[in-house]
Structure 1
Amino acid sequence: MANKTYNDLMVETSELLGEATQADEAVFEGGAAERVALQPLLSELRIRYTVLLAKLDSVYDQLLQPQKRLIVKRLLEACLGRLIEIKHDLVEIQMSDFTFDDDESLQKLQVTPFEAEPCIPQFFIREREEEIQSRRQFIIDTLTKLGYEPPKPEPLVLTEQQAVLIIQSHERARQGRLRGQFMKEIRLLKEKGRDQKGEMSSSAATAIQRVWRGFIARRATKKRKQEEQLLIGMELPPYYESEKIKKAEEVKEYRRKLQKERAEEYNIALDTIEEQLRTQHGARINEQIGDELRRWITEYYERTDRLPEIPSEESGGSRAMYSRQGTGMESELSKSSPVSSGGSKRSKDSKDKKSSKNGDAKPKEEGEDLITYKCTASAFLQDIVNANEEFEDIWKFKEDIDNTHERYYKDMIEREKMVKIEQEIRNVVDEMMRNELELLQAAYDKDKAVKGKKSKKPQKKVRRGGKKNKKKKEKDLTPDRTTESLFEELVSNGIIKPYPLVKIDDYIGEKCYLGNEMRKKCEDPTPCLGDIRQLIKEYCILPLGSEHVRTNAPLVRSVLISGPSGSGKKMLVHAICSEAGAMLFDLTPANIVGKYPGKTGLIMLIHLVMKVSRLLQPSVIWMDEADKPFVKKIPKTDKTDPKRLKKDLVKIIKGIYPEDRVLFVGTSKTPWDAEQKLLFQCYNKVIQIPRADYGSISLMWRTRLHKAGALSPRLDLSCLSRVSDSYTLGTLLQALNAVLTTKRRLQLRVRALTAQEIAIQLSSMEPVYAEQDAAAETWWYKTPMEKKRQKILQQIQEMAMAAEENGAK
């Protein structure tokens, strides 16, 4: 597509952003409101920002102009952060991690449930392709040096009896083909002789014509019916990339290459233009600021009979002094870059947000907490408003007639660099003036023979003041080692592992469409696999992908994913790493057996994992069988020493700060075997993968069979989905791979796949038994979030019953 297409799309998105921010500010300014009334408003806002996120992502991925892309990225990250904030507000309102969309909001915005699911921004990976590829290659090279080879397919080894049977079957087939060819030749000779004698009757020719015409008519009807079903969406098109799709991808890739060229030109221009401006105007600006400052000091002394104090650089320097005294003597350069007056408000918001993150907010009254809720202060809403206003002021009506190739604008760079140069020179002149004022004050005191303390530099007071960082500095056990050496050591010991590249959208599953309606009736909806996919995006992938979002958004340090074998826990971990471009650290008890032995070795292991995970962030620290460290009694057959990390897990997770793009993920099949109090101390969020419902199983079968080319009208998908109930998706895929061998794939054109073949294969596999489902459901109701939710629901019901009794009286 052309540049105009993406520019028009960005203008349209900017208008939608204005509408969304107005609605968002109205909700926030309303203060505390009833939860029932606030929930649909926040749900609608979440859908709005989700749609805007997808539009901004497509614009940022294909826009060429480098200066405009900077504003688009600011909007993209701010929308992403605001989306996560709204998600956490909805969780607090509904007391559940699953926030089902309101049907009215979807209809109002004309959005499907799958479009209301957040997309993963492409810049997470695209802007770090070289870095991610180099790290993967380093891991492969290190493993190759250690003698590790990727697993190869095992060679086919046959016994003598199996070989004899294969040879006999092939020999019989060869003899059958020869006999068939011989009989065909005899039949052709007979027909040829019959034709020569004129024995063929006209009735036979008519019969052949009738059969052939009927066959042609049926084939044309079948083709026309198939085209009609394709048109109305009743049948899936063949699974292959058409030429148009390939051409569109080629165009997108070409534009991405142009983006890199424009970005390189822009970066070179930043340095060259700054050097030119510094050479041309540096001396003049220095002299102008110096003269202006000396004149102001002279006038101040004549008016007050004392020398002024120039504020520190952190307080704004001489520019802040001008604005405080109200002399109106600022230069034109100073006026072009005024100091922001919203610092106190921003710091106040950050304090409120920090207190809400740490859970230090004052508890509300019990009745008010049940009925009303006040949204937390947003760290991203003002960024969206400011960036959108900047876009509208600069870019919305800017005509690019003279810049058809979308290159940088030199005048904009010059304005930005002049402000920067003026500020740097002002800081130098201010420091020189402070020294001169100190000498003048000393000489003045000496002349007046005034004894007293020596004048102190005011900037030192400011620099000593302020909040100190309360973050404890950990002792570095490896101060002299490079990052590469630590990286190589962890790879050699199997702590850092390569992982297969998996897309989160490959985790196939339908969404729960009746969740919101069931909650209105005070019923507990059962989430579907599509809701699990959305939770993984919102809690794990989206915060990890952006440093700005991770630092300012609500913090989730750790996530526990539970579910039966084959439910996709490990796939979700790999998807988190793949979508965020993260390093994978494996702290599974079975993986660290015999590595870093003893107490000192354990301390070194924890230190290396935490240090390298921060150096190579984003990072995911993974522990499979997360319940094992907290099991009360370990079987004697278990030699992995799972309780080795029991005392240090909480320390590891609490050592993850907001500025660290590090996430701790635990996976477990039987979390109810662990001590629940210790387990929930470690994990902030608990995600339980539910039993696959009919919709998710049917969608999975349709998608996988269509991709394999095995989907046909003869295959009863409904029956197959019913038979597949109580099996996990991993088990179903395993059965499909066992049925669709190479030989069976070649036979699909002649003999279509049937549900019976897959059902026979499933009969030999283990389902998820009802006892395991019951244990998982019982454990789920004991999780902190669910216990809190059930308690609030009970209190609300008691209040409703009390109100009814009072009304009856």
Structure 2
Amino acid sequence: LPSRAYQRLWESSHVTLQELLEQEQPLLEPVPERERQSFQYRIAMFYLHYLGLMRGFDTAYDQMVQPQKRRLLRRLLDCVVGRVLELKEELVRVDLSEYHCLDRVLQDLKLTPVDLEVPIPKYFLLEQSSAIRERRLMLAEILSRMEPVYPHETVPAMHRTEAIILLQKAERARQGRLRATFMREIRREEERDRRIWEDEWHKLSQDQAAVTVQKVWKGYLQRKRTQQDRRAEMEFIGMLPPPNQGEHLGIISQAFLGDEVRRLRQVEKEEEFQVAMEKAHSSLTETEGPDIKEHMKEQIRQWFIECHALTGRFPDYPDESLGGSYLIFADKTPEQEDITLQVLPSKVIPAINAGHEEYLNLWKNRQDGMHPSQNFDSETLREEKRKEVEQEIRIQVDELMRQELRNMQLAVDREEGRPLKPPKKKPGKKTGKKKEKDLTSNRSLDTLYEELVVLGLLKKSETVALKDYIGDCLYLGSTLTFANKLPMPSLFDIRQNMALYAVLRLGSPDIHAMAPLIRSILLVGPSGMGKKMLVKAVCTETGANLFDLSPGNLQGKYPGKTGTQMMVHIVFKVARLLQPSVIWIGNAEKTFYKKIPKEDKEMDPKRIKKDLTKAMRLLVPGDRVMLIGTTDRPHLAELKGLCRVYERILLMPRPDYASRFVLWKHMIEARGIQMTRSLDISALAKVSDGYTPGHILQAIQSVLNERRLLQLVKRPLVASEFLGHLAKLDPVYREEEESLKDWYFKTPLGKKNLKLSKDYLDAEEAKLAKEKKKRK
């Protein structure tokens, strides 16, 4: 009963949500500095609970069919994602680090590392707008027109007879090598049989030979039984896949088919609901509209009379931009203040509360039985539409009542003999921000888009899923912290941060509006760590455009100062109009060079520095545009300018043992090879310390060529085959990694983190010294 299962999931998610909402208020109470660790622990618990809730709402929204329930689920899902992002900001503020050691919290909550994974809502890709699909088609069409730029190289012609002779030579040589190999094997077998015959035939009696055969056979049988028992045990505890893999895959494919069927039903029910909404709107406007209008007028007139009776004057009518007459009857709530080591008031909790209340009032006590109805509820629909009709009528009433109020004021002023004053014009509010001057107001968006594609500033991104960035989490982070060692982030942590900072924000305009604003990210790590892959993954998961403003890509394009200004303006204008968008700058240190090297002076790498800084300041909530820089030499850049443009700096050190183990296993299995006992992955993970994921991939590609894959049946893969290829590559030496760490601890957040860890170490040393004195 799939529908009932998703209904139960929805209900259980609301039970969890109710518990979390009850615990939100105590979290707002201020905490002294000395309780920083326990405060961080509480926030981490909330963060993990909301992650689980997000996973449940995402599954329910993806498979629920009833359109009104799906609307509520969508609002709740977006709000819960917003809360997750707020709690991530709180963790950064308390930990003074972009990465957090949550292994102790996981253990206490009896969760697994899988529960740490940030789920990306499925609707990001499934519900991408037609505009994004049209944009991809337009990009493909422009790129296809540009393809025949370079002439194809002509291959010198060869006479037919010469070609045949060449093929014959190659084929005869291949057959000769094959025959030689077979003959060598045959001679070896004959030699082995001859030695056995000469050495052992005359030594063994008939009984001894029988016993020998029995020993071998019984040993073989026992080893086989032990192997089968061990495999059965490993399958039982879930450490090995079941033997009937075909049946297992069939069940999975059937489940996926069911998911797709429900998604098709969602479309059908949504179409029915849209038709019903239009009918309900027109019906309410005709039948109840006039009564609503008269009722509103009476309310507003009563307000005029009450104000005149109290003050002797008629009130000023609220402006439409502020809500019009709706403000007259709205309640206002006081704002809360910010205190150190206290969770900031949430923007999304009121919306979550509203959604939860709607669920409790409308859906909780519905008796749907074993088969919940997937048809829309007409009464609920009429209530929702009645509010929309009231809002539309209120705007019309406000116009009429403003005029009525002016007439009443004129009549009263005449009676009381007051001089008539012209209405004062309210000065427009100054926002304090300068508006960007549009340098291309006379050009269409399509021409700007095509120009950027032709010049190579807007590129087609490769399809890469974020889950393909393989890496395991840090299992001993808390242990290292207690041992006074600073834990470094794992590849899993890097993937999580890219999901939180980039994918979730760019994937939905509602989430972007609710979440704390982050406009830029800088990925810092050695070459081969997958920085570009992460940029492509963000574009894939969100359907974003990819703009390339790398210094090497800008050489010879839009020359001069005005040209640079125009280029940055066009890129940011197109990025905002066709959001979501990712602006990538490779070798980001070059844009902020301290001193430009001689070899880079010709490209003028710092030319966009000033205009880029200005353009980034103009990005506001609602602009789903993100700047992502990548660099492996950040120490060459001016730190202040770099940190001014990039709000989040993510350090990417070389992978630890756990991540290397997962990388080797996944990359080898991706070539279609099943793990065997002869292949010691643990040894490979150990000897590849210092090598990046790029190095590991190169070694695997070099070893597992087509010829080696064909030989796997006769000659199983062993770990030693990869060592020679790894030895040819230069690893990331300790000195290089330490220099990156030293640079990171000079950044604003890195400085605070270093100071916090030093203060913690000093406090621990002082405590130990006191204990020693007491013992003496």
TM over 0.5: yes
Deviations 1:147-199 (A, max 9, x none): 2699999999999999677323333267679999x99xxxxxxxxxxxxxxxx
Please show how residues 174-185 of structure 1 align to structure 2 within 5 Å.
none
Summarize the Cα distance change of 1:427–1:178 in structure 2 as closer, same or farther, 3 Å threshold: closer
Letter in 1 for 2:262: R
CA distance in 1, matches of 2:326, 2:688: 73
CA distance in 2, matches of 1:153, 1:56: 56
Map of 2:638 onto structure 1: 675
CA distance in 1, matches of 2:735, 2:306: 88
Map of 2:555 onto structure 1: 593
Letter in 1 for 2:128: R
Deviations 1:16-73 (A, max 9, x none): 0111122222111456663122111111111101111111111111111111111111
Partner of residue 439 from structure 1, selected from 404, 407, 410 = 407
CA contact (8 A) 1:438 1:455 kept: no
Letter in 2 for 1:69: R
Please show how residues 2-151 of structure 1 align to structure 2 within 5 Å.
2-29=2-29, 34-103=35-104, 105-128=105-128, 130-147=130-147
Summarize the Cα distance change of 1:548–1:748 in structure 2 as closer, same or farther, 3 Å threshold: same
Alignment gaps of 5+ in structure 2: 188-205
CA contact (8 A) 1:739 1:758 kept: yes
SS at match of 2:115: coil
CA distance in 2, matches of 1:445, 1:725: 88
Summarize the Cα distance change of 1:6–1:153 in structure 2 as closer, same or farther, 3 Å threshold: farther
SS at match of 2:116: coil
CA contact (8 A) 2:699 2:726 kept: yes
Map of 1:696 onto structure 2: 659
CA contact (8 A) 2:461 2:546 kept: yes
Partner of residue 693 from structure 2, selected from 729, 747, 752 = 729
SS at match of 1:704: helix
User: Is residue 2:443 matched to residue 1:481?
Assistant: yes
Please show how residues 268-417 of structure 1 align to structure 2 within 5 Å.
268-290=275-297, 311-313=318-320, 339-342=329-332, 344-345=333-334, 348=335, 373-400=341-368, 404-417=372-385
Letter in 2 for 1:718: S
CA distance in 2, matches of 1:157, 1:622: 45
Summarize the Cα distance change of 1:654–1:319 in structure 2 as closer, same or farther, 3 Å threshold: closer
CA contact (8 A) 1:710 1:753 kept: no
Alignment gaps of 5+ in structure 1: 184-201, 322-338, 353-360, 365-371
Map of 2:750 onto structure 1: 786
The answer to which of 303-312 and 535-544 deviates more is: 303-312
CA distance in 2, matches of 1:691, 1:278: 65
Partner of residue 631 from structure 1, selected from 590, 593, 613 = 593
CA distance in 1, matches of 2:691, 2:156: 31
SS at match of 1:44: helix
Summarize the Cα distance change of 1:755–1:316 in structure 2 as closer, same or farther, 3 Å threshold: closer
CA contact (8 A) 1:81 1:553 kept: yes
CA distance in 2, matches of 1:624, 1:304: 66
Please show how residues 792-803 of structure 1 align to structure 2 within 5 Å.
792-795=756-759
* Number of equivalent positions: 742
CA distance in 2, matches of 1:805, 1:745: 62
CA distance in 2, matches of 1:739, 1:154: 33
Summarize the Cα distance change of 1:578–1:173 in structure 2 as closer, same or farther, 3 Å threshold: same
User: Is residue 2:528 matched to residue 1:563?
Assistant: no
CA contact (8 A) 2:29 2:342 kept: no
CA contact (8 A) 2:103 2:476 kept: no
Summarize the Cα distance change of 1:152–1:109 in structure 2 as closer, same or farther, 3 Å threshold: farther
Map of 2:708 onto structure 1: 744
Summarize the Cα distance change of 1:634–1:392 in structure 2 as closer, same or farther, 3 Å threshold: same
Map of 1:195 onto structure 2: none
CA distance in 2, matches of 1:727, 1:301: 80
CA contact (8 A) 1:40 1:102 kept: no
Summarize the Cα distance change of 1:773–1:429 in structure 2 as closer, same or farther, 3 Å threshold: closer
Offset at residue 803 of structure 1 (A): 8.4
Partner of residue 753 from structure 1, selected from 710, 717, 727 = 717
User: Is residue 2:611 matched to residue 1:644?
Assistant: no
SS at match of 2:607: helix
Summarize the Cα distance change of 1:455–1:427 in structure 2 as closer, same or farther, 3 Å threshold: farther
SS at match of 1:737: helix
Summarize the Cα distance change of 1:407–1:148 in structure 2 as closer, same or farther, 3 Å threshold: farther
Letter in 2 for 1:279: E
SS at match of 1:517: helix
CA contact (8 A) 1:710 1:752 kept: no
Deviations 1:184-217 (A, max 9, x none): xxxxxxxxxxxxxxxxxx99xx999989999788
SS at match of 1:644: coil
Summarize the Cα distance change of 1:156–1:728 in structure 2 as closer, same or farther, 3 Å threshold: farther
User: Is residue 2:236 matched to residue 1:231?
Assistant: yes
CA distance in 2, matches of 1:275, 1:258: 26
Deviations 1:279-328 (A, max 9, x none): 2233344445556766887899899997676555566656665xxxxxxx
CA contact (8 A) 1:630 1:679 kept: yes
CA distance in 2, matches of 1:258, 1:737: 44
Deviations 1:312-353 (A, max 9, x none): 5566656665xxxxxxxxxxxxxxxxx5424x44xx36xx6x
CA distance in 1, matches of 2:98, 2:372: 48
Offset at residue 242 of structure 1 (A): 0.6
CA distance in 2, matches of 1:403, 1:482: 53
Map of 1:192 onto structure 2: none
Summarize the Cα distance change of 1:156–1:657 in structure 2 as closer, same or farther, 3 Å threshold: farther
Letter in 1 for 2:449: F
The answer to which of 605-614 and 208-217 deviates more is: 208-217
Deviations 1:391-440 (A, max 9, x none): 11111112336995512222112112223223332442343233234334
CA distance in 2, matches of 1:634, 1:314: 51
User: Is residue 2:501 matched to residue 1:539?
Assistant: yes
Identity of aligned residues (%): 37
Partner of residue 687 from structure 1, selected from 614, 639, 650 = 650
SS at match of 1:665: strand
SS at match of 2:57: helix
CA distance in 2, matches of 1:541, 1:267: 30
User: Is residue 2:629 matched to residue 1:662?
Assistant: no
Offset at residue 685 of structure 1 (A): 1.5
Offset at residue 584 of structure 1 (A): 0.8
CA distance in 2, matches of 1:742, 1:797: 55
Summarize the Cα distance change of 1:152–1:81 in structure 2 as closer, same or farther, 3 Å threshold: farther
SS at match of 1:591: helix
CA distance in 2, matches of 1:92, 1:645: 31
CA contact (8 A) 2:545 2:581 kept: yes
Deviations 1:568-620 (A, max 9, x none): 11111111111222111100011111111111211110111110111111111
CA distance in 2, matches of 1:426, 1:553: 31
User: Is residue 2:260 matched to residue 1:260?
Assistant: no
CA distance in 2, matches of 1:475, 1:212: 88
CA contact (8 A) 2:464 2:540 kept: yes
TM-score between the two structures when normalised by the length of structure 2 = 0.86
Letter in 2 for 1:720: L
